[in-house]
Amino acid sequence: MRYSGFRIIREALTGHRGWGPAWRDPVPQAAYDYVIVGGGGHGLATAYYLAKTYGKARIAVLEKGWIGSGNAGRNTTIIRSNYLLDGNEPFYELSMQLWEGLEQELNYNAMISQRGILNLCHSDGQRDAYRRRGNAMRLNGVDAELLDRDGVRAMAPFLDFDNARFPIKGGLVQRRAGTARHDAVVWGYARGADRLGVDIIQNCEVTGMRIEGGRILGLETTRGFIGAGKVGVAVAGNSSRVMAMAGMRLPMESHVLQAFVSEGLKPLIPGVITFGAGHFYVSQSDKGGLVFGGDIDGYNSYAQRGNLPVVEDVCEGGMALMPMIGRARLLRIWGGIMDMSMDGSPIIDRTDVDGLYFNGGWCYGGFKATPGSGLCFAHLLATDSPQATAAAMRLDRFRRGLLIDEKGVGNQPNLH
Ligand SMILES: Cc1cc2nc3c(=O)[nH]c(=O)nc-3n(C[C@H](O)[C@H](O)[C@H](O)COP(=O)(O)OP(=O)(O)OC[C@H]3O[C@@H](n4cnc5c(N)ncnc54)[C@H](O)[C@@H]3O)c2cc1C
């Protein structure tokens, strides 16, 4: 069924009896050509592009809970392509361009809103760094603007410009950045993949991998053994646990990242704003809630909830940036598990096991990558060669010293 305004009117007039399920609930088959582990945004997008772009048959997505129950349904929905390094920027821009046509492509309202992102700077040195990043973006054909103090004031007059410790000196803006409704992205890809014949199997946890003679034959799951020609793993925060089933130890740590949403307020925040002197960022949802977050929790964990010191740290950042946030009441706090890679950049690569491919290390920036990640992982699975924009995202780059160290802090997963 195609969704449209006309369809909504027709259903409204006929008692809404015509809507069908958006995707099937199939029984797993004995074997598939391609099995994707993880029904988050990345796994579903991969299955969608595999079926659509590469015309691959017999594809399944296995999800241990319900689709979108991981980070895809827990993030703060920011999409952007404002990266410095060549290993990252073309990939994130590819993703941004896919976002721009996604709703038409999927025939699904993902509430993509290009309301812009403003990265604030608080010192002359930081402004130089932003100028450099903006220039690098423009060399890659991506929009970037450096604003002075007055330019920032015109956009966000409520900020604390004369904070004694962190005065605002200007900001870097990407106007094509913005937000997208995270659940809708998952549902849109699921519906799109299902229409192309992909089996989306929920409540099906992968518990083991059957590997013989260096080749993967299939997966042990809570719903029995499922044979597979090729397996693509896209399980975000659970990457280390799942890849350990293949005997692999990843260059990665799992940490919790928390997010916060306030009560609904009148329109206030024009786009996404990030604090440059600490870890705090904020946007406003379409319902009016201020959606904000900050740093990861400092210890390794697989719990999807965080601790109070980080709550305090995030609130301090918010108060330094826009003191009136202290008057807003908090509605909810939640957490998700981040797959923090050593250099803060992702991995989309083959592994030493024939037929086993890995997608992960998205840290806390993987939502914006969802379409690009799906497209590039599908390309790798289908062709056995990396898609051009993801060619640097190799698993062995840590051993070879070819880091994509966007922040320039080295092998420090907790600092990315
Ligand atoms: C609080 C928070 C805020 C964030 N904010 C942003 C943001 O603003 N912008 C941005 O770009 N990124 C953001 N992120 C990061 C982003 O959400 C993730 O990088 C991205 O969602 C990861 O990819 P995914 O959607 O496929 O992951 P997930 O949705 O986590 O998908 C992985 C799936 O694998 C499943 N799985 C795990 N183990 C197994 C198994 N053994 N068998 C079967 N299935 C399994 C899980 O249940 C899960 O559904 C944020 C994350 C959090 C937690």
Cα–ligand 1 centroid distance for 228 (angstroms): 23
Cα–ligand 1 centroid distance for 158 (angstroms): 33
Q: What is the pLDDT of residue 269?
A: 94
For residue 14, what is the DSSP state?
Answer: T
> Is pLDDT of 415 > 80?
no
CA dist 27 to 53, 157, 191, Å?
Answer: 25, 55, 17
Name the band, by pLDDT with cuts 50, 70 and 90, for residue 410.
confident
Cα–ligand 1 centroid distance for 350 (angstroms): 20
Looking from the CA of residue 65, the nearest atom of ligand 1 is: 47
Nearest CA to ligand 1 atom 37: 235
Instruction: Report all structural domains of the chain as residue ranges with CATH numbers, in order of start.
Output: 27-78+84-93+100-105+182-251+344-415 (3.50.50.60), 114-178+253-341 (3.30.9.10)
Q: What is the pLDDT of residue 408?
A: 83
Give the start-end residues of each E strand in 98-237. Answer: 117-121, 145-148, 170-174, 178-179, 199-201, 206-212, 215-221, 224-233
Cα–ligand 1 centroid distance for 367 (angstroms): 8
Distance CA 61, CA 40 (A): 10
162 Cβ neighbours under 8 A, 6+ residues apart: none
More confident position, 407 or 90: 90
> Is pLDDT of 414 > 90?
no
| pTM for the model | 0.97
Looking from the CA of residue 363, the nearest atom of ligand 1 is: 19
Distance CA 172, CA 190 (A): 35
For residue range 305-356, list pLDDT tens digits in order: 889 999 999 999 999 999 999 999 999 999 999 999 999 999 999 999 999 9
Segment 288-315 mean pLDDT: 94
> Is pLDDT of 7 > 80?
yes
* 242 ligand 1 Cβ < 6 A: yes
Q: In 3D, which of 315, 319, 323, 202 has the Cα closest to residue 260?
A: 315
Percent of the chain whose pLDDT exceeds 90: 95
Cα–ligand 1 centroid distance for 250 (angstroms): 17
For residue range 57-72, list pLDDT tens digits in order: 899 999 999 999 999 9
